[in-house]
Structure 1
Amino acid sequence: MTSGVGPAERLARAALTRVFEPGDERGGQWLRQFGAVGLLARITSQDAGRELLAGAGEQRLGGYRTRAAAAVPERDLASVTALGGRFICPGDQEWPTQLDDLGAAGPIGLWVRGRPDLRIWSLRSVAVVGARACTPYGAHMAAALGSGLAERGWVVTSGAAFGVDGAAHRGALAAGGATVAVLACGVDVAYPRGHAELIGRIAEQGLVIGELPPGDHPTRSRFVLRNRVIAALTRGTVVVEAEYRSGSLVTARGAQRLGRFTMGVPGPATSGLSAGVHELLRGEGVLVTDAAEVAELVGDIGDLAPLRRGPVVPRDLLDPVSARVLEALPARGAADGREIARGAGTTADEALGRLYELHSLGFVERRGDGWQLATPTTPVATARRGGT
């Protein structure tokens, strides 16, 4: 790992991940002001008082000191190394600079498991998030998005939770693609436990990352704060099923604030699990239904989704004059050539010629001196395109 970060700075930042909760803006401001080594020295100093850390109350400062006293960064760094992982921080070549968009709420550093380069992967990544208790439809859409994006060379980023997150990861893995799991706990902790095997597979084939040091456990607030990292790391966030109050919407709104793309997969209007997505789509969210549409939105020029249209029927291939002649025939019964010509706005000779063409194609039938639409059982040949 190429780095401009000195050993003392890395050690101090590793310690500070045990002192501050993710997203602690006050801690982030101090970090910018004093640097990691200076900030840790102020927290652990026996003479530390509120004057050394402006804005910190005695109770909060006491909590920081207690955590700092228990931190053993050398042990944490050794633990992540034993997993085949590493601790990266701003200044490292692998650090994803888009995380700096979070300002003072940005990560102090990231604990990483897996071989790929996080910075490179994050340049072309999309978040796929959604409900834990998703429907079969939601799981199907998440897996399809995961595999489809992976096949197009995109990195699928999610939170390794049950439901949509897990389906998106599995879709990417099944396609032999790249996926990143952002955890709300230590990268050596399998949470949820039911996803221990999945998280292990992601660590082998992709990346497992988190702000919390090895062994740390998840909490409700840590899940919410984890979402800002998912939003900042990626070019855009796709929400697949979410209720009105959903952590997935927190991720999407965070992405909007950061200037990232926000997308939603629609569902039934009667489904509470789609209500939050639909609310997102009524605002600045963009409706998407597959990986091609996601890639078109977040990708480069020329990365276009295929043109969508309904099936082409034989009538669509008729030239304009023939189409007008066909439309001039009555729905029931027959009409003579002059009447049809008048309805089509053409001459009788022109109408007669087109009627014979339409007859050969199976669109019309001759009845005595008149013409009528062919019965539904009559086969219709493929009409020729354009021309006269």
Structure 2
Amino acid sequence: MAAIHKLTVLGIKKSAPGKYSDGGGLWLHKRSDGGAQWFLRVTVHGRRREMGLGPLSQVSLKDARAKAAANRAIVQRGLDPIKEREREKRDATRDIHLLRDIVEDAFESRKADLRGDGKAGRWMSPLQLHVLPKLGKIPVADIDQRDIRDTLAPIWHTKADTARKAMNRLGICLKHAAALGLIVDLQAVEKAKALLGKTRHRPKNVPALSWQEVPTFYQELSDGTITQLALRLLILTAVRSGPLRFLTIDQIEKDVWTIPGEAMKGRRYATADFRVPLSEEALAVIEEATKFERDKYLFPSVRRGVISDATMSRFMERNGMTARPHGFRSSFRTWCAEATDVSRDVAETCLGHVVGSSVERAYRRTDLLEKRRILMKAWSAHCVGKSTPEQLNAAT
């Protein structure tokens, strides 16, 4: 066996710059600038490896020999001491990379892609409600498919849409952790889906009034309250409740309401605003709502902010209706299909839906405003009970 412990403390102090062997693969490298570094040479799986053991100023000869012996023992077990040291470092620090911290960091990185910078909390809510209570305090490196399966199993069939969102966003967070350099199982989500199987839940459409029933309901909204005015404008414009509830007077110019792009669902990067043509009836509703204006909002709540979607839903529920506010978009779309010959592109654009492929949209740079203006005028006439064949013909 090659000699070991060849160096002495005094000899090290007196030695000139150069590399000195202590035996057993332990070396000291003294530099010309006065610094010195311990390193260990070992052979692992037929390949020579060198690993630093620290500077002489911090690691004594005795400590260097102890470190060398410990790492030689690792080699004798057939392991790479450098990789083992890296693993130990990860294990020692992984507790600071809890899933809840990764989720928060992933959310912050993606806020710009979310509507309203994600302030409504919809991106986070499936994780906050169904994932973080069980997995939030677990190091992200320890999470596997069984953890995910056990966490989402209770809602996998009963709340399938929520479970799907939670699963997909958890996958995004795991990819974010990997991008940070953490060791995670990027296939854990797909494995969990395989363990859970297909969902049995079938999504239900939002209950809606038939388009034939809309005029009767619309004409009953005659009390002039904030809730009823909001419902009237919701029906007349066929927009989603979010943009309507946050409508401000400065968004109206003549007979066009311009909804900011970031308020439109599905417009991921909010690159374009959405123009809504307003019928005479819609303008009359807006004029009546201005008397309630507070902080520029036309539909303020009793306390602060704006009315909620639940406010309109509860009004319809109190009137014994199963239909909900969002359902009026379906009422309008069905009316377009059954009572008019309007093109699909015009009808879908009225709903703010993206129409055509990306190539088609690149060449067709129009929002069909004038055609939509005629169609919305005919819809308004239908709602107030004054629809005529001439208006329907004009709309098509």
The structure with more radius of gyration: 2
Q: TM-score, normalised by structure 2?
A: 0.23
Q: TM-score, normalised by structure 1?
A: 0.24
